[in-house]
Structure 1
Amino acid sequence: MKTEFTFGDIVSVAGYENRIFYVDAWREVKEIDEWGVSEYVEFELTDAINGEFLDAFETDLRLVCRKHFAEDYLLEYDVTNYPEPTGASFHIADIFPELPSVESVAALGKGLEKVASNMAKKKAQEVAKEIDGLLDEYNDYMRLYETFGDAEYKTKADAVLTKLSREASE
């Protein structure tokens, strides 16, 4: 399906007067029901001023500005009487009507430090275990090479050594 709009274009939407939206994405919909098949395009939009998300049909959109000129258009756009978002939104003030106390923030920080420290220790243990495994593998291939003199064992030992040096440098 071909559409008139492309990513980054600024459009207006029927029912959302005096608001402008960016085209973020679209999807081609093919709907089959007992009466037949209908195909249409559905757009995902973001309000260019307040960031509200919206889905709309192509028939509800009208082009305001192409993507190439969008930045210049928005620089000169008058937002004085721009409508408030109509969708379900939340504000931090609704979630935290009062700021957390200094003590609770400090306790949270200490807890996070402890978690980070434990994670770092665990990661270091995992890396040490992996390096130990690579060293064992290298030693095994070198013993086989020294015992049988087969060049394939030497090649595999060199590959493990390369991997080991890569792991050690990370």
Structure 2
Amino acid sequence: MNDSAGQDKRRFDFGDIVRIDGYEDEWYRVEGYTELNYYSLEGMYQESYYDLARIPDGLYLDGYDDNMTLICTAEEAWEALEKRKEKNRKKTLNIKSKKSSQEQIDDLLDEHNDFMELYRITRDKEYVELAKLAFEFIKELQQNPKLRTYKN
């Protein structure tokens, strides 16, 4: 089978960023795809699925055309990730919540891990700075558990 024939049938390409039904808050990068052909006396049936890596931690997931939505193409991915980084930065810098100190610490640890994974993927050192900032907030919370708002 000619590779270009399969490429015409795919809705998503390598490096595209997509969203999966049921996981609307998470972004995934298309890492690869698989095309299977089934042959029988009645004819041929083709099935395709995509290999996806969750951003920022790389968790693997299979996706199918009917449950994936394109967020941006590979060419637009850098800009989209930068915008998401800025949104996450604002969220980290201004946490207002009625959560307990332990819940806030758990959230900040999640943020730290997300930033470090984004650094691993992009090598953008600003993610390391944001991860450090999350740890600074954790230290403040441990020293003053009643503290609820953090600002830069």
TM-score interval w.r.t. the shorter chain? Answer: 0.3 to 0.5
User: Which protein has greater RCO, CA pairs closer than 8 Å, 6+ apart?
Assistant: 2
More strand by share: 2
The TM-score normalised by the length of structure 2 is 0.47
Larger radius of gyration: 1
Query: How high is the TM-score relative to the length of structure 1?
Result: 0.43
